Amino acid sequence: MRSDQGFSLIEAMVALAILTAVVAGIIPAFTGFLNVTSHTETQSNGVKAAQIVLDELRRKSVDAISPDTNPLSWTQPVDVGGRSYSVVVTVCPNVSPSYCDAQSRQIIVEVKFNGNIVHRAETVFTALR
């Protein structure tokens, strides 16, 4: 009499083929999720880098960030989350309408990672009376 315990070789091979097909479908999805997560982390850290630079500028008076006393544009390295970002700050850009006068400064901040812009912020600082 034949024993019915365990799997035959054919049953095991069919189960292995099904498992391989399932894993082959999951791996690309997992890789895609990792790419999306990495991109989102890069953008989130870019926002943090912009906040750091803007907070440093907020501590200064409007006169201290005058285009007469500072370069109109400069690049500042900022490390966030173990990554190094280049933050390009432009004060009183030649754009229309211009919000630069004796009491205010228009500031544009572009955050770059690996040469790509990951965040851009534009704001106007005004002197409080």
Cα–Cα distance between 78 and 112 in angstroms, integer? Answer: 10
- What's the structural domain count of the chain? 1
Cα–Cα distance between 17 and 84 in angstroms, integer? Answer: 45
Whole-Å CA distances, 122 to 40, 73, 87: 21, 14, 13
Q: What SS3 class is residue 64?
A: helix
For residue 96, being part of any structural domain is answered with yes
For residue 4, being part of any structural domain is answered with no
For residue 120, being part of any structural domain is answered with yes
Range of the domain at 64: 9-126
Q: What SS3 class is residue 124?
A: strand
Per-residue pLDDT of the chain (129 residues; tens, 9 = 90+): 556 677 788 989 999 999 999 999 899 988 999 999 999 999 999 999 999 999 998 888 877 777 665 568 899 999 999 999 999 999 888 777 778 887 888 899 999 999 999 999 999 988 776
For residue 99, being part of any structural domain is answered with yes
The reported pTM is 0.73
Cα–Cα distance between 104 and 15 in angstroms, integer? Answer: 71
